[in-house]
Every structure is written in C-alpha cells, then in structure tokens.
Structure 1
C-alpha cells in the first residue's frame, strides 16, 4: 500500500495509449513519469491527486502531470463505473510538443499539469466525445485527435487546479505510512464513529503525530476528511432514492439539522435539493430518449 511506481508499456510506433482500466477493489496509490488524461464516470467518487482529496459527482475529467502521485479513481466505488485513460509517453512533451512553436498553448498546459487539473462544463463534454471517436481511428488519426483535445484543454477556462504546490513524487519519498490502511479504516467505519486514537495506533503513530501527518498529506483534519467522505457516500444513497433522514443516519450523522447544514456547505445545496435536481435530470434524459425513439420510428 506504499506509493508504487507504475511501469507503462506502449505499442511499437505509438506515442500514447488509450484504454479503460478497472481496479475497483484495488488501492493503487501510484505515480509514473507519463502525463495522463483521465475521464471517470460514476454516480459519485473520490479523487486523490497529489495532496488534494475531493469528491466528484457523475463524472470527472483530469489531467495529471508526470510523477504526481494519485489513487485509482474507481477505488471503493460500489456502483457502476466507467473510465477512459490516455497515457502519453515520457518524451511526449519534450520531443513532440516543445519543438513546434504552434504548440505553445499545449506546452504551457502540460507544464502546468503537475498541479492536477480538473475540467468541467462544455470542455469536459466536448473532450469526452472526441476521446470516444479517436478510439477507432488509425495511429495518425488518433494522434491528430489527441492534439486537438489538448488544444481544447489548453484554451479552456473551465478548469480547476487541484493543488497549490508541487506534489510530484519527490514530495512523498520519505513517506513510510500506509495511506491505504487509513482509507480502509475510514471506509469500514465512516457510518459509525471513526476514532483518531484507534487509527493512529494502527499506523504506529502517537495521536498528535498522526494528526500532523494526516493534515500534511491531505490539507484536512481527520474529522473534516471523515465528514467529507460521509457526504460523498450520502450522495450515493440519495441517488438510490433513500430518504434524507435514512441517509443521514446511514452515513453516521446523529443530527439531521447538522447533516443538512454540512451537506449544503460541501455541495452548495441541501440533500433534498441535490436529490430533486438529479432525479429531475434522469426524468428529462428519459423523456429525451423516448422522443428520439419515437422520431426514429416515424422516419
């Protein structure tokens, strides 16, 4: 469960690879010298890139720089999950992008990717469509498609930097604590009362030392992280049509008013608003699907 260096193999004559990994039951905390573009689609999930730990709903599109430690994005997801991953060869930036003046925006994008970049809005939708199309193109066509995607990302304002500082592997080299043990403990106990003294003992640290370590690794206190995890799990249960009250107690909160308050702090909306919005979206998409089927039958 320590940080692992992933060795990536490429087909002969290919500068990048596009594939769909599935590691749901594996805690793969890793890094590699290749820049990576990841699209993940799930009801709800947690991303851990560098020091950033945050939740996503429905889907996420991330550009992760060389040697930035990250967790596989399907870890712990209990619902259906789909991923598309592009990994670019280690020399991609130096030998393909840097020598071409017209690629200056792409160069700046890839150089900034060490912060971990999350894209949203129309940028995400457009890029995902293009990722789907380049899967079945020949080597040259796929390469042109990837450059087009990078150009779109380079000019997009729909982006969030996940880290404020350099979190490449040199930052983690002296880390001897098994973060996987902490994740597993929280996952097993979030609906009860995760005890900071207990997990500190499990990873062989005093409680004060554990608190300092955890804050340094995640930029969050242990309590804040547990609450963040609970809210993330709450979204899953809400989208399974559990009532707000059921979800509140199912994820470990003892006060409905506190659950509502914390949920709104994290998401900008109450649990009821979140549930109503997403079920409305499902209904709308369903009606659109029916309209399309009817139209097809009438043609």
Structure 2
C-alpha cells in the first residue's frame, strides 16, 4: 500500500497511450514520469493528487504532471464508474512541444500541471468528446487531435489548481508511512467513530505525531478528512434514493442538523436539494 512507481508501456511508434483501467478495489497510490490526462465518470468519488484530497460528483477531468503522486480515481467507488486515461511520453513533450514557439500556451499548461489541474464546464465537455474520437483515429490524426486537446486546455479559464505548490515524488519518497492503511481504516470505520488514537497506534506513531504527519500529507486534519469521506459516501446513498435521515446516521453522523450543515458546506446544496437535482441523472 505504500507509494509505487508505475511503469508505463507504450506501443511502438506511438507518443501516447489511451486506455480505460478499472481498479475499484485496489489502492494504487503511485507516480510516473509521464504527464497524464484523466477523465473519470461516477456518481461520486475522491480525487487525491499531491497533497489535495477533494471530491467530485458525476465526472471530473484532470491533468496531472510528471512524477506527481496520485491515487486511482475509482478507488472505493461502489457504483458504476468509467475512466479514460491518456499518458504522454516524456520525450514527446520535451522534444516536440517545449521547443516550438507556437506551443507556448501548451508549454505553460504543462508547467502548471505539476499542481494538478481539474477542468470543468464547456472545456470538460469539449475535451471528453475529443477523447472519445481518439480511439478510432489513425496514429497521425490522433496525435494532431491530442495537440488540439492540449491547446483547448491551455487557453481555458475553467480550471481549478488542486495544489498551491509543486508536490513532486521527492517530497513523498521520504515518507515511510503507508497511506493505504489509513484509507482502509477510514473506509472500514467511517460509519462508526474513527479513532485517531487507534489509527495512530496501528501505524506506529503517537497521536500528536500522527496528527502532524496527516496534516503535512494532506493539508487537512484527520477529522476533516473523515467528514470529507462521510459526505462522499452520503452522496452515493442519496443517489440510491435512501431517505436523508437514514443516510445521516448510516454514514456516522449523530445530528441531522449538523449533517445538513456540513453537507451544504461541502457541496453547496442541502442533502434534499442534492438528491432532487442529481437523482434522475444517476438513474439515467
């Protein structure tokens, strides 16, 4: 469960790899030198890129720079999920993109990708349509289409930077603690009362040392992360048409008013508003 380097294999004569992995039950906390564009479609999920831990609803489009640690985006998802992953060779970017003046915007985009970028709105919609087209194109036409996709992303302002600083693998390689153990513990206990003293003992740290470690790794406290995870699970239950009150207690909250308040802080909607807005889409 500790961080791993992924070895990406490319077909001969191709500058990028396009595929649809499925690893819901696998904790794959990893990095690789290749820059990666990921589209994930699910009712709700967790994204963990660098130090950022956040949630998405319905779909997400992410650009992740070279050697930025990230978790597979279908980890722990209990509903239908689709991933499309596009990985680009290092030398393709360095030899073709970086030296060409006309690709200045794309070069800047790739430099920013070390922060982890999440795209939304019309940008996401346009890029997804073009990603699907890539599958049936000849290698040359697919390469031209990829450059077109990168240019769309490069000039878009419909983007969120997930980290506020470059978080490369060198920062994480100094860590000997297994994040997977923490994720598994939270997944098994989120509906009860995850105990910071218990998980600290499991991974061999004092409680204060664990709290410092977790905050350094994720930029949030252990309690905040547990609440993030509970809200993510609550979304799934709501979109399965469970009553709001039942969902509240099912994901571990003891107060309905606190659950409603926290849910709105995380999603911008109350549980009832979220359910009404998204349930029909999920059923489709």
Category of TM-score, reference length = shorter chain: over 0.9
CA distance in 2, matches of 1:102, 1:221: 44
Residue aligned with 2:90, SS:
coil
Structure 1 residue 280: Cα displacement:
5.0
CA distance in 2, matches of 1:99, 1:163: 27
Structure 1 residue 282: Cα displacement:
5.8
Map 1:23-42 to 2 at 5 A: 23-42=23-42
Ranges in structure 2 where 5+ consecutive residues have no aligned partner: none
Change (3 A) 1:32 1:13: same
Match of 1:178 in 2: 178
CA distance in 2, matches of 1:93, 1:171: 24
Residue aligned with 1:237, SS:
helix
CA distance in 2, matches of 1:3, 1:90: 21
Moved more, 272-281 or 184-193: 272-281
CA distance in 1, matches of 2:188, 2:260: 23
Match of 1:151 in 2: 151
1:259 aligns with 2:259: yes
Match of 1:235 in 2: 235
Structure 1 residue 279: Cα displacement:
2.8
Structure 1 residue 98: Cα displacement:
1.3
Structure 1 residue 221: Cα displacement:
0.6
Residue aligned with 1:56, SS:
strand
CA distance in 2, matches of 1:10, 1:157: 31
Paired residue total: 284
Match of 1:278 in 2: 278
Residues 188-229 of structure 1 deviation map (CA, whole Å, 9 limit, x = unaligned): 000000000000000000000000000000111110000010
TM-score by length of 2: 0.98
Match of 2:112 in 1: 112
Match of 1:103 in 2: 103
Structure 1 residue 166: Cα displacement:
1.2
Match of 1:293 in 2: none
Structure 1 residue 92: Cα displacement:
2.3
Match of 2:63 in 1: 63
CA distance in 1, matches of 2:69, 2:92: 19
CA distance in 1, matches of 2:175, 2:260: 36
Ranges in structure 1 where 5+ consecutive residues have no aligned partner: 287-299
Map 1:63-212 to 2 at 5 A: 63-212=63-212
CA distance in 2, matches of 1:38, 1:208: 36
Residues 150-202 of structure 1 deviation map (CA, whole Å, 9 limit, x = unaligned): 00000100000000011110111210000000000000000000000000000
CA distance in 2, matches of 1:67, 1:179: 17
CA distance in 2, matches of 1:203, 1:138: 50
Residues 239-278 of structure 1 deviation map (CA, whole Å, 9 limit, x = unaligned): 0000100100000000000000000111111000001111
Match of 2:48 in 1: 48
Residues 58-104 of structure 1 deviation map (CA, whole Å, 9 limit, x = unaligned): 00000000000000001111111101000000112210101211111
Structure 1 residue 281: Cα displacement:
4.5
